Amino acid sequence: MSTTTSALGGVIRRKEDPALIRGRGRYVDDIKRTGELAAAFVRSPFANARINSIDVSAATAMAGVHAVYTIDDVRHLGPLIAQVPVGKLRPLLADGAVKHVGEAVAMVVADNRYIAQDAVDAIFVDYEPLEAVVDLKDAASDRVKVHDDLDSNVLLAWVGHEWWADVIAVEDPRPKIEEAKQRDDAVIVELEMVNQRLIPVAIEPRSVVASWNEGYERFEVYSSSQIPHALGGAIAKTFGLASNAVHVRAPEVGGGFGCKLNVYPDEILVCFASMRLHRPVRFTETRRESAVSTIQGRGWVATATLTGTPDGRILGYELRALTDMGAYSQNFTVAIPLLGLWVSAGQYDIPAYFEAKCVVTNTQTTDAYRGAGRPEALYYIERMIDAYAREIGMDPAEVRRKNYWKNDQFPAVNNTGLAIDSGDYETNLDKLLEMADYEGLKRMQAEARAEGRYIGIGLSTYLEICGFGPSVLSEIGFGWNNYGLPSSFSGSGLVRVNPDGSATVIIGTGPSGQGHETTWAQIASSVLGITTDKIRVSHGDTAESPMGVGTFGSRSAAVDGTATYEAAVKVRDKAAEIAAHLMEAAPEDIRFADGGAHVVGTPGRVVTWEEIADVAYRPHRGPDGLDAGLEAHAVFSPGNATWPFGSHIAVVEVDPETGNVEFLRYIGIDDCGNVINPMIVDGQVHGGIAQGVGQALFEEAIYDDAGNLLSGSLIDYPIPTAGDLPSFELGRTVTPTDVNPMGVKGIGEAGTIGSAQTIVNAVVDALAPLGVKHIDMPLRPRKVWQAIQDARG
């Protein structure tokens, strides 16, 4: 039994684009419900304050206002549920105190958003401001405590060798590292570096409309969510309903990047209001509101220490980080640094110690943002490799090569006790150096330096862990256990061949720009031999689809894609029996291609899918004992995560007069295992690098000491546009994984994980002749210029 796999690895234009490009896609705010009301929120102007009173009387009396709710109305629903409930859980509305600017204090429901906003302006809240704590070191000292009922602002510390000590035994690397430091020839490099806090800025802000259907005793919810099933579970759990009493649909989702991998108070509150008011209730964030009503990402301050020999052998790497949780713990908040821990030693076979303290501050909650912990971890180690290479005067490519895991070591058990599935780092690096003409670049740089120009070559390699995930991780919170859906992070797919020979693929996950409709059609097509134009992919509907997990952590293709692949194989095997019966051949001799089945060696005689379906739906025409129907469902639980990797080079020129950084080239070689659609993979890398450029050069959630977000609008939070980006030169190596049958790893976050440090390495390299050793991101011209001034004394 075999089949065509021609559709895997082929460029197929995105099936979703005709609708999206012409503005015909349907986003939540495009879906209007009869009689719907609009919600708006009173948000705190203070980062830390007691609430003495809330006067809603004027707002309640306004024409068109249906209700104003405060915590007294919803306290019985409890706080927001988190999967890793360490720290202070977020109350649905402020409960006697506010702990960050933008915290929702009261909810207005009105005929429309304009009236709701007027009513918001008419609500008087008597705040008693308290001292806020924003700086991570200050917060970690417990000088000012964010929450009275927590023992400390430091919630926990993730430590590399003991993150799951009960289950995974790993040797403490510190004695070995200390020993290395005592060597006479030890080279020790240390840097304190900030990986700044970012605002996700999905182009479509979050939007939700909920309706309690009294007749069917069911919630009908549309939400711009990466995790429709999880949201349904959270709503069900909150209201004491069965999970099938909540129908969630996530239609088109205009970007997520992790910020829609969360359940938000507004999603629960519109359900509550709908139940109370017997009307659908909608909430759509405004752009500015989104900066304070949606999670933020990153926010690490860390000291990294690298110990090595003068000839480039790394003997120890230590990272001690303070990581900013914000005020409340939401879905995975405290688990995000753990993702960084797993890849803290990058591609290197080195003794590595990792420690991340999770610290609460009077700021918006942090959680997963594209890369989630991994860009931070890779930033640190890759900056340190560069600093070390510079210190010992060795080419940074050669230092990396010398310390890589070697091909015969895979699966390689790293410093955290996890096994890296597969890798071929040297081949990947060599391809990058060749494509970039690394030696030529170095010559060009030398010539430019002689002319007084500041050109820098930045190199970085990265290791990623993704494709979540192994069911065992649900024991430590990586699952939807607390939403009453203990399915771990299995993938799910349903494949149905319809009576007319078309096919429908229904997946429990949904895209937020990743092109699932195309990729999943290719997966099914590769197995069934049905062309992709006859395959429709349906997603994001909890009533229609089998239980699904969501799109995040670069997991969809590797996990849900695999489930779909396996479901398609089941359908194909059944179809082969039917075709064999019709053609009086053996099932193992049946091949599928070009919209039908034929017997191996005789491609001229074809049984079409319509003919096969006809038999499948009228089983008396088929072989004895044939079950009716032509569909199958599969659930896939991977045995391991997948571990993509890659290498990037940025070439920049710095204007020493202004500090402006200009890209000359950007080259990336990524390895995500087998590739389903090269164009979509490249597109993911493009977007990923763009976000890395944003972090490296522009973006920063800037809070002042009082906890005010100074960069809450796009005027002060610049995100890169196409015009700010270089033309990416991309290539790939292919090192399949054996974790899933398609050999695919994941590519959604790779570009982001690999790029920021590449760019910083390039800028620091450009300024190395001046003695600049490090500049903290974002490398806005003012900082680059200041670094030049400081270096010149």
Partner 1 sequence: MYPREFDYVAPASLDEALDALAANPGAKVMSGGMSLLPLMKMRLFSPEMVVDIGRIPGLDDITDQEDHIAIGALVRHHQTATSALVAEHAAALAEAAAYTGDNQVRRRGTTCGSLAHADIAADQPAGALAAGATMVAASKNGKREIAAADFFVDTLTSALEPDEILVGIRIPKTGGGSAYDKLGRRGGHSDYAVAGAAAWVRKSNGTVEDARIALTGVGTKPMLAAGSMEAFIGSDGSAAAIAAAADRATEGVTVLEDLYGSEAYKAHLARVFVARALEQALARA
Q: How far apart, in Å, are the Cα atoms of 677 and each of 12, 146, 293, 518?
A: 7, 48, 35, 8
Question: Smallest distance from the beta carbon of 33 to partner 1, in angstroms?
Answer: 19
User: Whose Cβ is closer to partner 1: residue 286's or residue 409's?
Assistant: 286
User: Whose Cβ is closer to partner 1: residue 409's or residue 786's?
Assistant: 786
How far apart (Å, rounded) are the C-alpha atoms in residues 682 and 679?
5
CA angle in degrees (0–180, nearest 5) for 760-318-381 = 25
User: Whose Cβ is closer to partner 1: residue 164's or residue 698's?
Assistant: 698
User: Whose Cβ is closer to partner 1: residue 110's or residue 739's?
Assistant: 110
User: Whose Cβ is closer to partner 1: residue 15's or residue 206's?
Assistant: 206
Residue that the structure tokens 């700086």 belong to? 135
CA angle in degrees (0–180, nearest 5) for 691-695-699 = 105
User: Whose Cβ is closer to partner 1: residue 288's or residue 536's?
Assistant: 288
Residue 218 CB coordination number (10 Å): 17
* CB-count burial class (<10 Å; 0-12, 13-18, 19+) for 64: middle
Element (H, E) at 578: helix 562-583
Q: How far apart, in Å, are the Cα atoms of 64 and each of 68, 217, 405?
A: 12, 27, 66
Q: 231 with 81: CB under 8 angstroms?
A: no
Strands, E assignment, 547-697: 590-593, 596-599, 602-608, 631-636, 645-654, 661-671
User: Whose Cβ is closer to partner 1: residue 656's or residue 751's?
Assistant: 656
How far apart (Å, rounded) are the C-alpha atoms in residues 693 and 698?
8
Question: Smallest distance from the beta carbon of 783 to partner 1, in angstroms?
Answer: 9
Residue 624 contacts by C-beta under 8 Å, 6 or more apart in sequence? none
User: Whose Cβ is closer to partner 1: residue 244's or residue 786's?
Assistant: 786
Question: Smallest distance from the beta carbon of 657 to partner 1, in angstroms?
Answer: 5
Question: Smallest distance from the beta carbon of 113 to partner 1, in angstroms?
Answer: 5
How far apart (Å, rounded) are the C-alpha atoms in residues 454 and 446?
10
| Interacting residue ranges for partner 1, rule: CB under 8 A | 40, 113-114, 117-118, 121, 286-289, 657-658, 660-662, 697-698, 702, 710-711, 713, 715-716, 718, 720-721, 723-724, 780-782, 785-786
Q: 378 with 462: CB under 8 angstroms?
A: yes
User: Whose Cβ is closer to partner 1: residue 234's or residue 762's?
Assistant: 762
User: Whose Cβ is closer to partner 1: residue 409's or residue 658's?
Assistant: 658
Choose among 544, 542, 545, 524: nearest CA to 533: 524
Question: Smallest distance from the beta carbon of 295 to partner 1, in angstroms?
Answer: 20
Question: Smallest distance from the beta carbon of 695 to partner 1, in angstroms?
Answer: 13
User: Whose Cβ is closer to partner 1: residue 283's or residue 317's?
Assistant: 283
Q: 54 with 34: CB under 8 angstroms?
A: no
Q: Evaluate the omega torsion of the peptide bond into residue 18 and state whether it is cis, within 30 degrees of 0.
A: no
Question: Smallest distance from the beta carbon of 139 to partner 1, in angstroms?
Answer: 23
Q: 316 with 67: CB under 8 angstroms?
A: no
Question: Smallest distance from the beta carbon of 422 to partner 1, in angstroms?
Answer: 39
For 2-16, what is the HEC assignment?
A: EECCCCCCCCCCCCC
Question: Smallest distance from the beta carbon of 661 to partner 1, in angstroms?
Answer: 6
User: Whose Cβ is closer to partner 1: residue 521's or residue 788's?
Assistant: 788
Q: Is 230 helix (H, G, I), strand (E, B) or coil?
A: helix
How far apart (Å, rounded) are the C-alpha atoms in residues 527 and 493?
14
User: Whose Cβ is closer to partner 1: residue 681's or residue 697's?
Assistant: 697
Question: Smallest distance from the beta carbon of 107 to partner 1, in angstroms?
Answer: 16
Q: What is the DSSP letter of 673?
A: B
Q: What are phi and psi of 214, to 5 degrees?
A: -65, -35
Question: Smallest distance from the beta carbon of 699 to partner 1, in angstroms?
Answer: 10
User: Whose Cβ is closer to partner 1: residue 205's or residue 396's?
Assistant: 205
Question: Smallest distance from the beta carbon of 114 to partner 1, in angstroms?
Answer: 5
Strands 454-463 and 218-223: unpaired
* CB-count burial class (<10 Å; 0-12, 13-18, 19+) for 626: middle
Q: How far apart, in Å, are the Cα atoms of 497 and each of 574, 620, 625?
A: 11, 18, 20
Question: Smallest distance from the beta carbon of 310 to partner 1, in angstroms?
Answer: 38
Question: Smallest distance from the beta carbon of 50 to partner 1, in angstroms?
Answer: 26
User: Whose Cβ is closer to partner 1: residue 190's or residue 790's?
Assistant: 790
Choose among 300, 317, 257: nearest CA to 692: 257
Residue 630 contacts by C-beta under 8 Å, 6 or more apart in sequence? 496, 497, 498, 571, 574, 575, 612, 613, 616, 617
**Sign for the pseudo-dihedral over CA of 323, 329, 331, 335:** positive
Question: Smallest distance from the beta carbon of 127 to partner 1, in angstroms?
Answer: 20
DSSP 383-445: HHHHHHHHHHT--HHHHHHHHBPPGGGPSEE-TTSPEE----HHHHHHHHHHHHTHHHHHHHH
User: Whose Cβ is closer to partner 1: residue 6's or residue 713's?
Assistant: 713
Residue that the structure tokens 């490398």 belong to? 779
Question: Smallest distance from the beta carbon of 61 to partner 1, in angstroms?
Answer: 17
